Structure 1
Amino acid sequence: MMHKLTSSFRRLTVGKDKLGRCRLYSQLTQHQSPLEESESAGGVPTIPAFDYTPPPYVGPTADEIFRKRKEFLSPSMFYLYKKPLNVVHGKMQYLFDENGRRYLDGFGGIATVNCGHCHPDVVQAIINQVTTIQHSTILYLNHCIADFASALAGKLPGDLKVVFFTNSGTEANELALMIARLYTGCQDIISLRNAYHGNAAGTMGATAQSNWKFNIVQNGVHHAINPDPYRGAFGSDGEKYAKDIDDLIQFGTSGHIAGFIFEAIQGVGGIVELAPNYLPPVYNSIKKAGGLVIADEVQSGFARTGTNFWGFQNQGIVPDIVTMAKGIGNGIPLGAVVTTPEIAKVLTRRSYFNTFGGNPVCTAAGHAVLKVIERENLQENAHVVGSYLKERLTALKDKHDIIGDVRGRGLILGVELVTDRKLKTPANTEILEIMETMKDLGVLVGKGGFYGNVFRITPPLCFTKEDADFLVDAMDYSMSKL
């Protein structure tokens, strides 16, 4: 049932007027957007109650920050919404802007904040470590990196137990591709169309969307037909898509390859889950060609799919290499590559070193994240709440023709918008309008897909059913206003 904000939840909070002087607001008044003020209370979805008030914000305004950003930061940086949102505080599944207004975070820092914003256990682990030793070098011993590596290896199947720490998902995928090439002695990599694996030179080659590829040398990667159940030529017939892998190996390579890299659920590509029965035959084809199988778990890992801790486990295979980032640190810059002892030996042929990979503050945070996920049963919550949210979104499809597809699992869900369901014409303009209205209501979601027409819903795993109701009601309301 949707909670309504009543007088019992009104609290005094501090804000600033145009002259920077402090003034008091009631939480009820402060959290009303212009949209909410202009509509009758009965028709507008209301954010669930949350017994927390952030400290007063005394920093620069959004306009001041935006001016500096335009002058001093890269012009390649983009932002969501017509007017960039100045997010100054976070608590669990909620974010607060400079005026103290609360928003439901349905994006989770792009599938990153699994435990919730500023989770006290993760914060405390960071504080404890940063006040002890912030950084030295992995050339010295430190228990943080060893303890976390051991705990992380314990979450993986088979002989996947050797960990290399990196600083990001791009860096993890770069390392994984290099390991595959070194181990096999081959150069050819097979990736999937619509994939996103990073934006460095090597990973950009494995990425297969022109939106994310610059005109630089990108050798040795072959892109297979994407097993997309919604837009793909073979619908949900995974075995038919799998035959394209054999064709690529036979007609595009020497017959021997370095490896195959995949996302169990394509995040940037629009939350596309691989067609059923696709990976097992692909796995066999790759192994016959001498290649390694690389699972990119940057977005689908760390309990987000609900049914399993890793996305690849939903596909019934055990890869040779697993890459991860985002949810591994709940917002701390951290990534990792995990492989077998045999494969890991290839990096001893020369010196491999990473200055910040395995930083004690980052690994202390990562270890705390694992403990929180287990102690708070966040995987089970992702499954229960995610299934409920998907059911509600699917029901919304019957009401609004603009919804072409609802997909994903757990708390990594996608809603694709189209102007014509038969032609699947991308509604890439309408989605912007809906996003703006949802933001005005207090709901933040992401956007992706090659055509920019897919809502990416990847909230913190502490999301509740009340939050799910509010998100769907806000989407329903916003679509009705088109």
Structure 2
Amino acid sequence: MNQETKIPELPDYDHQPKPYTGPSYDEVMALRKRYLTPSLLTFYKKPIMIVEGSMQYLYDEKGKRYLDGIGGIVTVSVGHSHPYIAEIVAEQFKTLVHNPSIYLNPIIAEYGEMLAQRLPGDLEVCYFVNSGSEANDLAMLMARIYTGNHDIIALRNGYHGGSQSTMGLTAHSTWKYNIHQGSGVRHTIMPDCFRGPYGYDDPEAGIKYATDVKSVIDHTTPGRVAGFFAEPIQGVGGTVVLPKGYLDKAYQYTRNAGGVCIADEVQTGFGRLGTHYWGFEYQGVMPDIVTMAKSIGNGAPLAAVVTTPQIAAKLTERIHFNTFGGNPVSCAIGKAVLELIDKNRLQENCLNMGNRLFNGYHRLMDKYELIGDIRGSGLMTGVEFVKNRQTKEPASQECVEIFETLKDLGLLVGKGGYNGNTLRIKPPMCINEKDVDFMLEALDIAIGKVSRQ
């Protein structure tokens, strides 16, 4: 790092990482290159090695502390290695590690009740799986079986998983192999008020964008569809917030064509948006199926599909089974996560810390022309960089340089959007004011460094 670059100080934190005694960085790198698939993505020109975590912080093998500004890819909700969850896991491991659904077990039943109580309407039947890709794959199956239709509408720029079927839902060429990917998915235009034809200043933007959903149904399907998939705020796509009225109209067109509506809450759920517990509530709609993962397990392999009794009943026509879905350890963690979100008022914290973060973003936007747009809600935020605010030419390389500098300063964030020019800043929901101030100071330094070049 340039010697002129100021180094901000991380907030004081009372945690001493354990001395690392494992294989060296170079040894781990060599093992990874030899024995792990080369398709595994790593961040940074020189990847960092994380060996310990505590709440909102991570530590490398040398004991350097980082503020996790991407929450393990929007997965850590209540905090890394939360002591309460650690106790729960230890006790459950000593009691029962595995119990398939062919036997009764109180933990999965109690957890199902707890989760259903946090959803409105008839969304009360839970099916537990292990990942967001699995959840979205199952939701596709449910929609097709229930409606008797095949075609599914999804948004361009959306991301719904990496399995072969969910890759078909995903509309991002960087995440799609050149293979047959889940037939019957039709992609509608992305309702992007920053880059699309209808902007933030158009109060009818949502309704106008939604007309393409009807057009896709009318012209690319038999006029009947199985369902409509959407993230209430796009995650991997660069924190694109759907305009008001869009989902309401899109859901209407879908239901008129015999389909059901699926909300992908893998990144937006569990209070992260601050104003609402679920992203679909933020958009003012009621889906028929909700998929969730990531924050649901705070890092544990846990995901779920929640739907209505009528839709769930269709799966009884055949045997449908998931060996590890509803695992006692994962469900015990899921229960603990819900308890901690409520007990520690983490949704409220997301709102307050998000407001503080956005106020800072606006100050930085006034200072740096490089910032083209700031988006999101609560602690699901995005900062998009452009070379020119009029042309909106993506500042992709500049974003990479900012991304790298932030790491050197002790702040880990994500990067997304089709052009890779948007910082995804979505930290654990337990961050505090000093953490936010550190993030903003680091951003100021990193953006300033690139702007001066």
Band of TM-score, shorter chain: over 0.9
Q: Does the residue aligned with 1:474 lie in a helix, a strand or coil?
A: helix
2:185 corresponds to which of 196, 217, 221: 221
Unaligned runs of 5+ in 2: none
Among 339, 343, 346, the residue aligned to 2:314: 346
Once residues 280 and 72 of structure 2 are traced to their aligned partners in structure 1, the CA distance between those partners, rounded to angstroms, is 22
For the residue of structure 1 that corresponds to 2:250, the secondary structure is helix
Which residue of the other structure, out of 6, 13, 34, is the alignment partner of 1:50?
13
Q: Distance in 2 between matches of 1:273 and 1:64?
A: 42
Given residue 168 of structure 2, which amino acid in structure 1 is its aligned partner?
Answer: G
| Contact 1:173–1:323 (CA under 8 A) maintained in structure 2 | yes
Alpha-carbon distance between aligned partners in 1 of 2:249 and 2:62, rounded to the nearest angstrom: 54
Match runs of 1:108-147 below 5 Å = 108-147=71-110
Secondary structure in 2 aligned to 1:294?
strand
Quote the residue 2:128 is aligned against: 165
Partner of 2:343: 375
User: 1:197 is aligned with what amino acid?
Assistant: H
Cα distance between partner residues in 2 of 1:432 and 1:280: 36
In structure 1, runs of 5+ residues without a counterpart are: 1-33
- The question of 1:95 aligning with 2:51 is answered no
2:104 and 2:4 mapped to 1: Cα distance?
Answer: 61
Determine the C-alpha separation between the residues in 2 that align with 1:61 and 1:455. 30
- For 1:426, the equivalent position in structure 2 comes to 394
The offset of 1:353, in angstroms, is 0.2
1:27 paired residue number: none
1:160 & 1:124 partners in 2: Cα distance? Answer: 31
Tell me the distance in 2 between the aligned counterparts of 1:415 and 1:361: 37
Find the partner of 2:144 among 181, 193, 197.
Answer: 181
Q: Does 1:231 align with 2:195?
A: yes
TM-score (norm 1): 0.91
Query: Post-superposition shift, 1:413?
Result: 0.1
Report the Cα offset of residue 421 of structure 1: 1.5
- Residues 1:198 and 2:177 aligned together: no
Which residue in 2 is equivalent to 1:360? 328
Quote the residue 2:303 is aligned against: 335
Deviates most, 214-223 or 362-371: 214-223
Paired with 2:87 and 2:261, the residues of 1 have a C-alpha distance of 37
Match of 1:320 in 2: 288
Q: Is the 8 A contact 1:204 1:212 kept in 2?
A: yes
Q: Is the Cα contact below 8 Å between 1:259 and 1:286 reproduced in 2?
A: yes
Structure 1 partner of 2:359: 391
Letter in 2 for 1:213: K
- Between the aligned partners of 2:24 and 2:334, the Cα distance in structure 1 is 32
1:463 to 425, 428, 431: 431
**Is structure 2 residue 239 aligned with structure 1 residue 271?**
yes
CA distance in 2, matches of 1:163, 1:341: 10
Equivalent of 1:299 in 260, 267, 279? 267
> How far off is 1:136 after superposition?
2.8
Q: CA deviation at 1:270?
A: 0.5
Distance (Å, rounded) in 1 between the aligned partners of 2:439 and 2:244: 29
Distance 1:453 1:66 in 2: 28
- Aligned match for 1:84, one of 47, 51, 62: 47
| Greater Cα offset, 243-252 or 159-168 | 243-252
Asked whether the 8 Å contact 1:96–1:103 carries over to 2, the reply is yes
SS at match of 2:86: helix
The one-letter amino acid paired with 2:93 is V
SS state of the match for residue 419, structure 1? Answer: coil
Maintained 8 Å contact 1:305/1:410? yes
Matched, 1:150 2:113: yes
Paired with 1:166 and 1:481, the residues of 2 have a C-alpha distance of 44
CA distance in 2, matches of 1:332, 1:225: 34
Q: Cα offset for 1:92?
A: 0.7
Q: Secondary structure at the match of 1:159?
A: coil
1:144-163: CA deviations, max 9, x gaps?
11111110000000000000
| RMSD between aligned residues | 1.1
Q: Report the counterpart of residue 446 of structure 1 in structure 2.
A: 414
Q: How many residues align?
A: 445
Residue 349 of structure 1 aligns with an amino acid whose one-letter code is E
Q: 1:30 corresponds to which residue?
A: none
- 2:381 aligned counterpart, secondary structure: strand
- Taking the aligned partners of 2:259 and 2:86, their CA distance within structure 1 comes to 41
Runs of 4+ in 1 over 6 A off after TM superposition: none
TM-aligned CA deviation for residue 39 of structure 1: 5.0
Deviation (angstroms), 1:211: 0.7
Q: Return the offset for 1:250.
A: 1.1
Is the Cα–Cα contact under 8 Å of residues 389 and 465 in structure 1 kept in the other structure? Answer: no
The whole-number CA distance in structure 2 between the counterparts of 1:260 and 1:384 is 32
Q: Within 1, Cα distance between the matches of 2:199 and 2:169?
A: 24
> In 1, Cα distance between the equivalents of 2:408 and 2:218?
53
Secondary structure of the residue that 1:279 maps to in structure 2? helix
Residue 293 of structure 1 aligns with an amino acid whose one-letter code is: C
Whose radius of gyration is greater, 1 or 2? 1
Answer yes or no: is the 8 Å Cα contact 2:99–2:105 preserved in 1: no
Provide the rounded CA distance (Å) in 2 between the counterparts of 1:357 and 1:232: 40
Distance, in Å, in 2 between the alignment partners of 1:373 and 1:108 is 15
Cα deviation, residue 44, structure 1: 3.2
Deviations 1:167-212 (A, max 9, x none): 0000000000010000000001000000000111111111111111
Q: Normalising to structure 2: TM-score of the pair?
A: 0.97
Equivalents in 1 of 2:69, 2:319: separation in Å?
42
Work out whether residues 293 and 320 of structure 1, in 8 Å CA contact, stay in contact via their aligned partners in 2. Answer: yes
Measured after TM superposition, the shift of residue 279 of structure 1 is: 1.1
Aligned counterpart in structure 2 of residue 288 of structure 1, from 243, 253, 256: 256
Cα distance in 2 between the residues matched to 1:469 and 1:476? 10
Give, in whole Å, the separation in 2 of the partners of 1:271 and 1:172. 21
**Residues of 2 paired with 1:392 and 1:146: CA distance?**
43
1:374, distance to aligned residue in structure 2 (A): 0.2
Structure 2 counterpart SS, 1:260 = strand
Aligned amino acid, residue 366 of structure 2: D
Q: Distance in 2 between matches of 1:444 and 1:220?
A: 38
Amino acid across the alignment from 1:78: L
For 2:449 and 2:213, how far apart are their aligned partners in 1? 45
1:347 partner SS: helix
CA distance in 2, matches of 1:378, 1:50: 19
* Structure 1 residues 266-298: Cα deviation after superposition (integer angstroms, max 9, x where no partner): 000001110121111111111111100000000
SS in 2 for 1:426: coil
Conserved 8 A contact 1:106-1:460: yes
- Measure, in 2, the Cα distance between the counterparts of 1:324 and 1:355: 18
Alpha-carbon shift at residue 438 of structure 1 (Å): 1.2
Q: Is the 8 A contact 1:295 1:321 kept in 2?
A: yes
**Which one-letter code corresponds to 1:156 in the other structure?**
L
